[in-house]
Amino acid sequence: MRTAVTPTTVERFFDPGELIVSKTDLKGRITYANRVFCQIAGYREAELLGQPHSIIRHPDMPRAVFKLLWDTVLAGHEIFAYVKNMAKNGDFYWVFAHVTPSFDAAGNMVAFHSNRRVPSRQAIAAIEPIYAEVLAVEAQHRNGKDQLDAGFKRLLAFVESTNKPYDELVLSL
């Protein structure tokens, strides 16, 4: 069982020419992690394999963002998202994630594939206050379902206020 990690204020970076790559099963358990993923997250590959991808979830990330991500990929669609992750020692790192479902020859969804790139600092500056607002809305509720519902409504309201579909909005940041 994983022990609680306390977030630090130290940001980690990876080279813009590098990609963080991982694969998960349908339950979100890591089945593949490339060298860059292991290095930036501070884990050995053996520590990651079989673990839920949420092992790197930073507490600054609203649950609503992950609901949007999971709803999208489980519906068979790709999604792009800015994500703040947490390394094994509590340091953080930002990524621009592209998550896609993987299908077998019969068209059955069998896994998920994620490539993460270095995001622009401009995009992070734009998305951080939105995530903070959604997280604050989630924190107003004690019940986990109510937290998620309220945060998701706020996230969708923000997207709607831009008059752009989610994908277009994310790619425009």
β strands within the chain, DSSP E: 20-24, 30-33, 79-86, 92-103, 109-117
The yes-or-no verdict on residue 1 having pLDDT over 80 is: no
Q: Is position 1 within any domain?
A: no
Residue 3 within a domain: no
Residue 5 lies in a domain: no
Q: Is 40 helix (H, G, I), strand (E, B) or coil?
A: helix
In a domain, 9, yes or no: no
Query: Is 89 part of a structural domain of the chain?
Result: yes
- For the chain, how many structural domains are there in total? 1
Examine the pLDDT at 3 and tell me if it is beyond 90. Answer: no
User: Over the stretch 125-169, which tens digit does the pLDDT of each residue have?
Assistant: 999 999 999 999 999 999 999 999 999 999 999 999 999 999 999
- The answer to whether residue 123 sits within a structural domain is yes
pLDDT tens per residue, range 55-107: 999 999 999 999 999 999 999 999 999 999 999 999 999 999 999 999 999 99
Which range marks the domain in which residue 27 is found? 20-172
Contact 33, 45 (CB under 8 A): yes
Query: Mean of the pLDDT values across residues 1-22?
Result: 91
Per-residue pLDDT band for 2 (boundaries 50, 70, 90) equals: low
Note whether residue 7 is domain-resident: no
Residue 55's pLDDT is 97
Do 15 and 40 form a contact (C-beta atoms < 8 A)?
Answer: no
- For residue 16, pLDDT over 60 is answered with yes
pLDDT of residue 141: 96
Residue 31 CA to its chain's centroid (Å): 17
pLDDT at 165: 93
Report residue 36's pLDDT band, with 50, 70 and 90 as the boundaries: very high
Question: For the domain that residue 40 is a member of, what is the CATH number?
Answer: 3.30.450.20
The answer to whether residue 12 sits within a structural domain is no
CA dist., res. 11 & res. 131, Å (int): 17
